[in-house]
Amino acid sequence: MTDNKLSAEYDIVIAGGGLVGGSFALLLERLAGGSALRVLLLDAAPVQNPENNAGAADFDARSTALSWGSRLIYEQAGLWPALASDVTAIRDIHVSDRGHFGATRLHSEQMGVDALGYVAENRHLGRVLQQALRDSKQLTVCAPASVEHVQPLSDGAMLTIKGASLEKIKTRLLVLADGGRSGLCQQLGIAVQQKHYGQQALICNIAFANDHQGQAFERFTDTGPLAVLPLADHRTGRERQHRGALVWTLADTNNINAKGEQEQYSAERIMALPDAEFIDALQQRFGWRLGRITQAGARSLFPLSLTVAREQIRPGIVLLGNSAHTLHPVAGQGLNLALRDARALAGLIVTAHKGDRSPGSMEVLQAFLAAQSGDQSKTIAFSDLTTRLFSNSQPALAMGRNLGLLMMDLMPPAKGWFARQAMGMADRRSARL
Ligand SMILES: Cc1cc2nc3c(=O)[nH]c(=O)nc-3n(C[C@H](O)[C@H](O)[C@H](O)COP(=O)(O)OP(=O)(O)OC[C@H]3O[C@@H](n4cnc5c(N)ncnc54)[C@H](O)[C@@H]3O)c2cc1C
Mutate to test the pocket of ligand 1, among 1, 19, 229, 341 (most ligand atoms within 8 A of CB): 19
For residue 11, pLDDT beyond 70: yes
Q: Which atom of ligand 1 is nearest to the CA of 335?
A: 11
Cβ–ligand 1 contact at 335 (below 6 Å): yes
Left (φ > 0), alpha (ψ -120 to 50) or beta: where does 227 sit?
beta
**What is the spatial distance between Cα 274 and Cα 180, in angstroms, rounded to a whole number?**
32
Cβ–ligand 1 contact at 20 (below 6 Å): yes
pLDDT tens digit string along 111-170?
788 898 999 999 999 999 999 999 999 999 999 999 999 999 999 999 999 999 999 999
The residue nearest atom 48 of ligand 1, judged by CA position, is 18
**What is the spatial distance between Cα 414 and Cα 404, in angstroms, rounded to a whole number?**
9
Q: Which atom of ligand 1 is nearest to the CA of 180?
A: 30
Average pLDDT over every residue of 256-285: 85
At 1, the pLDDT band (50, 70, 90 cuts) reads very low
Q: Which atom of ligand 1 is nearest to the CA of 16?
A: 34
CATH 3.50.50.60 fits 3-194+305-423, yes or no: yes
Cβ–ligand 1 contact at 329 (below 6 Å): yes
At 420, the pLDDT band (50, 70, 90 cuts) reads low
CB count within 10 Å of CB 117 equals 28
For residue 398, pLDDT beyond 60: no
Q: What is the pLDDT of residue 430?
A: 40
**What is the spatial distance between Cα 268 and Cα 278, in angstroms, rounded to a whole number?**
12
In terms of C-beta density within 10 A (0-12 exposed, 13-18 middle, 19 or more buried), how is residue 54 classed?
A: exposed
**What is the spatial distance between Cα 76 and Cα 98, in angstroms, rounded to a whole number?**
40
Cβ–ligand 1 contact at 46 (below 6 Å): no
Buried residues in 136-145 as b, exposed as e (16+ CB within 10 A):
bebbbbbbeb
For residue 3, pLDDT beyond 60: no
**What is the spatial distance between Cα 173 and Cα 157, in angstroms, rounded to a whole number?**
7
Q: pTM of the entire structure?
A: 0.90
The residue nearest atom 35 of ligand 1, judged by CA position, is 16
Which of the pair, 168 or 68, is modelled with greater confidence?
168
**What is the spatial distance between Cα 325 and Cα 308, in angstroms, rounded to a whole number?**
4
Average pLDDT over every residue of 99-113: 74
Q: What is the pLDDT of residue 139?
A: 95
